[in-house]
């Protein structure tokens, strides 16, 4: 074995056993073997008799690149793809930018999960069920709205429709009423993981002459059971439970698509704790 290593060193320079390379590269032996199988960091030499793996010192730089990419959250397959374009600066920047956007999305998801944990713990502390949510029967009179309706990837990207609404209103020279109510209507008959059919709306004083994708509509009076709650949207599950209990207790039936009224929204504050939202479920008295 020693003779084989010396012969290898004669051809490749100073060689390191896998354990030595593991210490210097700060990559476990298990992962080095995995990288070998994946083809992203193969030993410089393998003893044909013993099967021992030997790495060259110059491979430490390559190992450092892999570790850096791993710390950025890239998987093994992605690392192999990136390293195959390592000298293409534009390609490298594209990979890193895509990963940055992915991590930012994950960060928002984690923030939402933390807010949900906080609101759920608060829910438990207050005994669950209604958690102090006050359900009120209200009537929204006949009203006019300007809206944009579309099928979007998920509930979390509702903001895309609001961007479209405001952009089109500006492009079509439609003034925004400062006292307008901002609402979202959910048209799906079920909760959906993707391809969500919703409309974002702003109230107006009358019907307006608009072009698609904008719509101007007159909507009928609606009676609804609603809860005004303060804080992040993750508590909506508890809010709907409170409304469902109220509907059952007072003898009502569901009667249409639920909607939300945004009294204080992300457009006014970046702090979810300051949101003020009204969750509204149209209802009618049981016969």
In this prediction, residue 215 carries a pLDDT of: 95
User: Cβ contacts of residue 233 below 8 Å, gap of 6+?
Assistant: 272, 275, 277
Could you state, in chain order, the average pLDDT of each consecutive group of 10 residues for the chain (287 residues)? Answer: 43 74 90 92 89 89 90 90 87 90 83 72 62 86 95 90 94 87 93 91 92 94 94 83 88 93 91 91 90
Question: Which helix (H) or strand (E) covers residue 212, if one does?
Answer: none
Q: Tell me how crowded residue 203 is: count the other CB atoms within 10 A of its CB.
A: 18
Query: In Å, what is the CA distance from 32 to each residue of 18, 52, 65, 81, 191?
Result: 8, 13, 14, 18, 45
The per-residue pLDDT for 32 is 93
**What pLDDT score was predicted for residue 129?**
52
The four Cα atoms 79, 85, 91, 95 give a dihedral, to 10 degrees, of 0
Residue tagged 């998987």 (tokens): 75
| Residue 241: predicted pLDDT | 84
CA distance 120 to 37: 45
Is-contact 59 80, C-beta < 8 A?
Answer: no
Note the pLDDT of residue 146: 96
Q: Is the pTM of this model over 0.85?
A: no
Is the preceding peptide bond at 213 cis, omega within 30 degrees of 0? yes
Tell me how crowded residue 238 is: count the other CB atoms within 10 A of its CB.
22
- Spatial CA neighbour of 286 closest among 260, 239, 250: 250
pLDDT of the residue at 207: 92
Q: Give the three-class secondary structure for 170.
A: helix
Report yes or no: 276 and 230 within 8 Å, Cβ to Cβ.
yes
Of the candidates 229, 208, 236, the one whose C-alpha atom is nearest the C-alpha of residue 274 is 229
SS3 73: coil
CA angle 111, 114, 116 (to 5 degrees): 110
Give the CA angle between residues 119, 198, 264 to the nearest 5°.
45
């Amino acid at each position: 074995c020693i003779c084989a290593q010396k012969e290898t060193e004669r051809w490749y320079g100073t060689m390191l056993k896998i354990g030595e390379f593991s210490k210097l590269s700060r990559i476990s032996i298990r992962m080095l073997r995995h990288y070998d199988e994946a083809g992203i960091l193969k030993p410089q030499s393998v003893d044909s008799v013993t099967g021992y793996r030997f790495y060259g010192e110059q491979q430490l730089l390559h190992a450092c690149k892999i570790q850096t990419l791993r710390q950025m959250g890239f998987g093994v397959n992605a690392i192999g793809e990136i390293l195959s374009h390592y000298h293409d600066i534009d390609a490298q920047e594209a990979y890193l930018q895509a990963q940055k956007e992915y991590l930012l999305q994950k960060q928002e998801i984690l923030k939402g999960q933390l807010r949900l944990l906080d609101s759920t713990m608060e829910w438990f502390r207050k005994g669950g069920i209604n958690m102090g949510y006050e359900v009120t029967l209200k009537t929204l009179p006949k009203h006019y709205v300007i809206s944009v309706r579309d099928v979007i990837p998920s509930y979390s990207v509702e903001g895309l429709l609001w961007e479209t609404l405001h952009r089109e209103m500006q492009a079509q020279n439609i003034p925004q009423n400062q006292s307008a109510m901002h609402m979202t209507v959910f048209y799906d008959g079920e909760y959906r993981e993707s391809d969500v059919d919703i409309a974002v709306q702003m109230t107006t004083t009358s019907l307006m002459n608009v072009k698609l994708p904008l719509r101007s509509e007159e909507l009928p009076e609606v009676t609804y059971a609603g809860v005004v709650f303060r804080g992040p949207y993750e508590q909506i599950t508890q809010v709907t439970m409170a409304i469902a209990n109220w509907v059952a207790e007072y003898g009502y039936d569901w009667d249409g698509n639920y909607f939300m009224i945004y009294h204080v929204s992300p457009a006014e504050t970046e702090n979810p704790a300051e949101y003020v939202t009204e969750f509204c479920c149209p209802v009618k008295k049981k016969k």
